[in-house]
Amino acid sequence: MKFINKLIIILLVIGLGACSDILDLDLQDNPNAVTPENASLNDLYNSVQLNFVGTFLSAQFTAGAAARMYHAGGGTYEDFAPAEQLDGLWTNAYTNLFPDIEALLAIAEPNGFDIHAGSAKIMKAYTMLTLVDMLGNVPNSQALQGTDQISPSADADSDVYSSALALLDEAIGQLSGSSASSPSFEGFFGGDASQWVRAANTLKFKSAMNMRDASTINSLVSSNSVIASSDDDFEAQFGSQRANPNSRHWMYNNHYEANDGNYLSNYFMWLLNGDKVGSSGAAITDPRSRYYFYRKVEDAGAQDQTTYSCHFSIFPDQTATPAHWEATSPNVPYCIIPNTGYSGRDHLNPDGIPPDGPIRTSYGLYPGGGQFDDESFGDTRQAGTSGGLGAGIVPIMLSSMMDLMRAEAALNLNTNDDARALLESGIRASMAKVVSFESLVPATMGDQRELRDGSSGTVQDLYGATPARIDNYVAGVLELYDAADADGKLDLVVKEQMIASWGNGVEAYNLYKRTGKPNNMQPALEAVYGDFPRSFFLPAIHVTRNGNASQKAFTDRVFWDDGSVDLY
C-alpha cells in the first residue's frame, strides 16, 4: 500500500496472553522501547494505519471465503478454518494495532491532536466490531494491561460492541469541528476531520444493520451523516512499487508474480456470469466481470485431463454435479463456469493441486490493480510487470455498499428508504468505482482491436463497461426485481451487495449471516461438510497462551445472530 514508503514500524511488546516465562525476566526500563516520552506522534500514527489495514486483511479473506466471495478449500469448515487460521488477526489486533493506538492516544489527547486521536479510535472501533463479528466474546476491559494481566478474560460480545460504539461517539465528539493539525500523512481522507466523522457514523450504521436497529438506521440516514458518494469512500490505497518495500495490493502479489496464486470462487464468478437470466432466457452478464477477473484461456472446458481436479469427475462434466446441490442450488455450475473461460474452484473442494496455473482465472483490474480482461488470454505470472501494477484499494466501506445496505434495510427492516431506487443507485455507484480503475491501464483500454467478425474498436469500446452496457445491466436487474416476490427482491439486493463488496470479505460474511442469502449459495462439494462457522474458532495463539481462555464451537452465535436463517 502507498502507506509503506512513509511508515516507520514501531515495535511494541505487550504481555497479553504471553508465556509465563516472561515473569522470569529482569523487568528494567528498556532505553530502546517506545514510550509516550520518546515516541514520534506521526510515526506512531503511520504504524496505526499500517496495522489497521493489516488487521483488516487478516480477517477479510477467511470471512469472505466462508461467504463464497473467495474460495474455501479443505472439505469441511473445520479443515478450512482450524484454530490457527486467525492467529494473524489476533496478533495484528492485540499485539500491534491496539497497543500502538494506546501509545498514540497518550501523546495526542493531552496535546490536542484530535484528528490523530479521533481517527485512531475509529480504526480501533472497526477492529473491535470485526473481532466480535468473527469470534464472539473477546478480551476488552482486561486487555492491554501487560504483565499486570497476562490472561485477560473475555468480555461478552454485546459489551464489546457497546464499547466500540461508545468509542465511535468519542471520536465523533473529538473530530466534529476540529481545527487541530492533521497527521503528516493520513492515507484514508487526507486529514479531513469531517470525512472521518462520516466514516464513524457509517460504522454505527453497519452495526445497526447487524443488530436490526431500524430506528438508528433511519436517524443516521435522515441526518445525512453517513457515506453518500464516492468522495466519502473509506478505503486504503496501495501503491505500484514492487520492492524495498513492496507496496502492491495483495491480489496483485498473489497472481502477478511467479506463483499460481489462490483459486477464485466459482460461485462468485458465476454470480456475475450466469446467475441472472432475463425474460428472454438470455444470461444478464455483469459488465464488472472483466474488471474483477482475468481469464487466461478462452475455453476452460477444453483442457487436458491432468489440468482438472473436479473431485467427482475427471473432466468438468456438468452431469457429475453433486446430487445434494439440487435442493438449494440446482443451476450452479460444477468445477468451472462452462463456455466462459472462467476456471476457479468449488466451495470446500478438498483435492490437491493439479498443474492448472496456466488456466486458473486471476484477480483482475479491480480492486487489486491487475489486468483488465481484454480477451488476450495470457498468463498473468509476468514477474509483476503487467496490468495496473498492484495500485489497488482495500474497500472498507464504499458508497455503493451503503446504498445496497440501505436497500436491504428497507426490505428487511421496513426503514424509510426506497429499496428499488437504492438498488439502482448502488449498482451505478459500484460501476463508476470499477470503471475509474481504467486510468491504471490507459494503453490497454485505448488499444485498437479487430474482432473475428470484422468489427473493430478500442478495448474500452469492445469490452468495457460503457454507459450503454451499464444501462442494459441495470434495466435487466430492475426487470428481475419488479417481477420478484418479497423474498426474491431481497435475494437480488443481497447478490448486488455482495458483488459491490468485492474485496471486503468481512461485510460479505456479515451479510450472509444477517440474511441467509443468496438463496442459491453453492453448497460444499461433499454432502457432509461440518458446521458453518457462525463464529470462527478462537485463535490457537490465544487459547494456548491464555489461562482464562477455552475453545468454542463453530455453532456459537454472536449476540446479534438470532439463528433465524439457515447457513450452510
* pLDDT at residue 416 is higher than 60: yes
Average pLDDT over residues 86-95: 97
Tell me which residue of 133, 35, 53 sits closest to 93, measured CA to CA: 53
Quickly name the fold that domain 4-18+34-42+88-226+534-543 has. 1.25.40
The band of 18, judged by pLDDT with boundaries at 50, 70 and 90, is very low
Tell me which residue of 516, 506, 515 sits closest to 536, measured CA to CA: 506
Q: What is the mean pLDDT of the chain?
A: 93
| pLDDT at residue 178, rounded to an integer | 87
Q: Where are the domains positioned within the chain? A: 4-18+34-42+88-226+534-543, 250-515
* pLDDT at residue 28 is higher than 70: no
Please count the residues of the chain. 568
| pLDDT at residue 38, rounded to an integer | 53
| pLDDT at residue 302, rounded to an integer | 93
Tens digit of pLDDT for each residue in 94-142? 999 999 999 999 999 999 999 999 999 999 999 999 999 999 999 999 9
Tens digit of pLDDT for each residue in 216-247? 999 999 999 999 999 999 999 999 999 999 99
pTM beyond 0.85: yes
The band of 148, judged by pLDDT with boundaries at 50, 70 and 90, is confident
| pLDDT at residue 15, rounded to an integer | 29
The band of 454, judged by pLDDT with boundaries at 50, 70 and 90, is confident
The band of 81, judged by pLDDT with boundaries at 50, 70 and 90, is very high
Contacting residues for 281 by C-beta, under 8 A, at least 6 apart: none
| pLDDT at residue 498, rounded to an integer | 98
* pLDDT at residue 4 is higher than 60: no
Could you tell me if 157 and 148 are in contact, meaning their C-beta atoms sit under 8 angstroms apart?
Answer: no
Say if residue 522 is exposed, middle or buried (CB neighbours under 10 Å; 0-12, 13-18, 19+).
buried
Output DSSP code: residue 263.
P
How distant, in Å, are the alpha carbons of 30, 32, 40, 141, 465 from that of 35? Answer: 10, 9, 9, 22, 52
The band of 336, judged by pLDDT with boundaries at 50, 70 and 90, is very high
| pLDDT at residue 27, rounded to an integer | 33
| pLDDT at residue 26, rounded to an integer | 35
The band of 196, judged by pLDDT with boundaries at 50, 70 and 90, is very high
Average pLDDT over residues 20-29: 34
| pLDDT at residue 256, rounded to an integer | 98
Average pLDDT over residues 393-410: 98
Helix H or strand E encompassing 530: none
* pLDDT at residue 496 is higher than 70: yes
How distant, in Å, are the alpha carbons of 178, 196, 200, 388, 500 from that of 226? Answer: 18, 10, 8, 31, 18
Contacting residues for 427 by C-beta, under 8 A, at least 6 apart: 400, 404, 473, 474, 477, 496, 500
Average pLDDT over residues 427-445: 98
* pLDDT at residue 25 is higher than 90: no
The band of 427, judged by pLDDT with boundaries at 50, 70 and 90, is very high
Average pLDDT over residues 86-97: 97
| pLDDT at residue 22, rounded to an integer | 27
Average pLDDT over residues 513-519: 98
Average pLDDT over residues 320-333: 97
How distant, in Å, are the alpha carbons of 49, 70, 238, 522 from that of 235? Answer: 12, 20, 10, 29
| pLDDT at residue 14, rounded to an integer | 27
The band of 24, judged by pLDDT with boundaries at 50, 70 and 90, is very low
The band of 453, judged by pLDDT with boundaries at 50, 70 and 90, is confident
Could you tell me if 150 and 22 are in contact, meaning their C-beta atoms sit under 8 angstroms apart?
Answer: yes
| pLDDT at residue 277, rounded to an integer | 96
Could you tell me if 329 and 287 are in contact, meaning their C-beta atoms sit under 8 angstroms apart?
Answer: no
Average pLDDT over residues 463-479: 98
The band of 147, judged by pLDDT with boundaries at 50, 70 and 90, is confident
Q: Give the 3-state DSSP-derived string for 178-206, with helices as H, strands as E and coil as C.
A: CCCCCCCCCCCCCCCHHHHHHHHHHHHHH
How far apart CA 264 and CA 52 sit, in angstroms, is: 25
The amino acid occupying position 310 is: C
The band of 516, judged by pLDDT with boundaries at 50, 70 and 90, is very high
